[in-house]
Structure 1
Amino acid sequence: MMSAVLVSMVESTGAYKAASRLAIATPPPAYVLSRGIGWQGIGVMLDGLFGTVTGSTVSVENVGLLGLTRVGSRRVVQISAGFMMFFSIFGKFGAVFASIPFPIFAALYCVLFGLVGSVGLSFLQFTNMNCMRNLIITGLSLFLGISIPQFFNQYWNPSHRGLAHTNAAWFNAFVNTVFSSPAMVGLTVAVILDNTIEVEKSKKDRGMPWWVKFRTFRGDNRNEEFYTLPFNLNRFFPPT
């Protein structure tokens, strides 16, 4: 369970940053990320209490849809949530969407997931991509992020239940879940290499100066416009 939550946090953090970029907002500071992941944890707890099949996480396809439609209004999201609850109560309306052929969904997902992936790569513009160090880190994290999860998924079967099949069930679940997530593997490799390989010239090669002002909520005066909660709820969650 903890491994699934960890993987969900990593994937959600990337989706938060991609959504901010597609919505032409400032990168979310640490306070906003913590707030979002905290509410996501409450959602996962409610999922467990109600016995849902899947857990709560950021919908990557909705982030891609935000980029396609260029609509980042909270009001649109609130109205969409109302429609989702309505369709879940009245099954006849939900059946209309369930009747959409899977090839249409597949084609749409190719565009949406591809758009989110390209947004993630666009953050590399703040680094020096003429530096061989950055090229090695980027290439290796992308390659291992794709190949290692594929390797683990290839050995998944009912008898062994994954590549790791020791006597400790908790260890098997942790290893198989973590290393089956491309986002988790890619992030782990990139973070380790970025903090261990020596910088050739300066921190500018890593793009660190550009991110400094976005680390805190007060670092940019536009953060209050983008990340203040509606209905005056921000007074219950003051920025730190």
Structure 2
Amino acid sequence: MSQTPSSPAPARHPVDQVLPPGRLGILGLQHVLVMYTGCVTVPLVFGSAAKLDTSTIGLLINADLLVAGLITLIQALGIGKLLGVRLPVVAGATFTAVTPMILIAGEYGMQAVYGSMIAAGVFGLLVAVPFSRAVRFFPPLVSGSVITVIGLSLIGVAAGLIAGLDPTAKDYAAPSHLALAGGIILLIIVVSRFTRGFFAQIGVLLGLVAGTLVAVPMGLTDFSSVGQADWLGVSSPFHFGAPQFPVAAVISMCVVMLVTFTESTADMLAVGEMTDRPLSKGDVARGLAADGVSGILGGIMNGFLDTVFAQNVGLVGMTKVRSRYVAAVAGGILLLLGLVPKLGEIVASLPEPVIGAAGLVMFATVTAVGIKTLRTVEFEGTNNLLVVAVSIGIGMLPVVAPSIYHAFPTWFQIIGGSAITSATLAAFLLNLLFNHTGGRGGSATAEPVSAAEVATSGPT
């Protein structure tokens, strides 16, 4: 009897493909360069507001990068069936936690800041699975609206890096700075238009390198701090002493963890759509659990809560590189930067207009991905256009008017003051109202089901 020829092994999904070492290294470095400034800004802002000395802030930056690198590795590679979404995502410190951390530091001290962070991390691990079951309520109508707001809300960050944050400063929006940023954007466009393959994928990195070289004769670079930085250094666990757990501080940070979950969920769903790998409830739960671990590690190592960075979501959309091992390399580089402050100073010394120009392209790419997602939504005969309009409007309020909620309680400012969180809540609740409840104008089948929603029927 003749044997039936064995069928060929199924091809690996692009997310699981391991690229050649050289490409992995360069593409991973590109991911680090586009998120580094946003990642280290959190400890800089918090350290200044908490009136910490320069050396202590440096320790916080090292711890921040160390934890971000570990969480990125966990997200990209996974740990069994417990942790990690196993997508090309990069984790970094979230700005959501900065305001409550400052308030806690002023009221209870630094030991309470990191004690409440540990408690929030444990809370995150406990609620990751229940929270992930809400994924079926994040169809393209919701995820598309939120992704659009994520991109739009970050464009202001890019503008601040290019022009500066002080309109009264002598060099604010200097024509030379704008010209430098414009030249970088033009270079990225030219590389994307006229090159193929690997060079097209590193357009942002080429823009960063070329922009930095041009910035040198313009006097915009200062690498003096590199020589002063240590080769090795990391903050010791519980640098500020034994953690403390005031009830009010713990509750506040647990709310921050839930807000962080909404941000990470939207970003993970976006990457799932970009990479053609729909996420199951189990995938989302493992990704959120990694956020919870960041709280525990951050509390122990004097770091910060981490979330999936939208900058890197935009980079995935731009480069079309779907391998999660690129993100793993980025995690390894972040880990190295956290252990070797001298390397971190080199990256930190890149001129802000250069970083801002690259960021503008990537943040706008995130917006375009959101618009593309919304194209799959059924608008005729439904109230979905109203859901999108109100969600984007509510999400952009704190962007165009940052102090709009200043008279409200702190807990409300934490939620309403985040463009991503307020847009997520608005889109989520309005989708429930119009598409998951009976009555006038409501229809549970008013829009097509997303790939991510279909995947939620799989095992966890």
What band does the TM-score fall into relative to the shorter chain?
0.7 to 0.9
Which residues of 2 match residues 86-235 of structure 1 at below 5 A? 86-131=336-381, 133-148=383-398, 150-151=400-401, 153-154=402-403, 162-164=406-408, 172-197=409-434, 200=441, 203-208=444-449, 212-217=453-458
Alpha-carbon shift at residue 40 of structure 1 (Å): 1.1
User: 1:235 corresponds to which residue?
Assistant: none
* Structure 1 residues 141-168: Cα deviation after superposition (integer angstroms, max 9, x where no partner): 11111115654x3157xxxxx422xxxx
Q: Does structure 1 residue 57 correspond to structure 2 residue 301?
A: no
Q: Distance in 2 between matches of 1:109 and 1:212?
A: 30
The change in CA–CA distance for 1:67 and 1:79 in structure 2 (over 3 A counts) is: same
User: 1:234 corresponds to which residue?
Assistant: none
Q: Distance in 2 between matches of 1:86 and 1:210?
A: 37
Structure 2 letter corresponding to 1:163: A
Structure with higher Rg: it is 2
Q: Distance in 1 between matches of 2:264 and 2:333?
A: 23
The change in CA–CA distance for 1:51 and 1:91 in structure 2 (over 3 A counts) is: closer
Alpha-carbon shift at residue 95 of structure 1 (Å): 1.9
User: 2:269 corresponds to which residue?
Assistant: 17
The change in CA–CA distance for 1:188 and 1:201 in structure 2 (over 3 A counts) is: closer
Structure 2 letter corresponding to 1:128: E
User: 2:297 corresponds to which residue?
Assistant: 46
For the aligned residues, what is the CA RMSD?
2.4
Q: Distance in 2 between matches of 1:209 and 1:116?
A: 18
Alpha-carbon shift at residue 50 of structure 1 (Å): 1.6
Which residues of 2 match residues 31-42 of structure 1 at below 5 A? 31-42=282-293
Q: Distance in 1 between matches of 2:453 and 2:316?
A: 26
Of the two structures, which has the highest relative contact order with CA contacts closer than 8 Å and spacing of 6 or more? 2
Alpha-carbon shift at residue 196 of structure 1 (Å): 2.2
User: 1:230 corresponds to which residue?
Assistant: none
The change in CA–CA distance for 1:42 and 1:112 in structure 2 (over 3 A counts) is: same
State TM-score, norm by structure 2: 0.41
The 10-residue stretch of structure 1 (206-215 or 90-99) with the greater mean CA deviation from structure 2: 206-215
State TM-score, norm by structure 1: 0.75
Q: Does structure 1 conserve the Cα–Cα contact (< 8 Å) formed by 2:382 and 2:441?
A: no
Structure 2 letter corresponding to 1:23: T
Q: Does structure 1 conserve the Cα–Cα contact (< 8 Å) formed by 2:378 and 2:384?
A: yes
Runs of 5+ in structure 2 lacking a partner? 1-252
Runs of 5+ in structure 1 lacking a partner? 157-161, 165-171, 218-238
Alpha-carbon shift at residue 89 of structure 1 (Å): 2.1
Q: Does structure 2 conserve the Cα–Cα contact (< 8 Å) formed by 1:145 and 1:182?
A: yes
Q: Does structure 1 conserve the Cα–Cα contact (< 8 Å) formed by 2:382 and 2:446?
A: no
Secondary structure in 2 aligned to 1:126?
A: coil
User: 2:257 corresponds to which residue?
Assistant: 5
Alpha-carbon shift at residue 202 of structure 1 (Å): 5.3
Q: Distance in 2 between matches of 1:20 and 1:210?
A: 9
Q: Distance in 2 between matches of 1:201 and 1:55?
A: 38
* Structure 1 residues 114-158: Cα deviation after superposition (integer angstroms, max 9, x where no partner): 22232233222332123451111111111111115654x3157xx
How many percent identity over aligned positions?
Answer: 24
**1:30 equivalent among 266, 269, 281:** 281
* Structure 1 residues 71-122: Cα deviation after superposition (integer angstroms, max 9, x where no partner): 2212222222222222222222222211111111112222222222322332
Q: Does structure 2 conserve the Cα–Cα contact (< 8 Å) formed by 1:127 and 1:206?
A: yes
Q: Distance in 1 between matches of 2:412 and 2:354?
A: 34
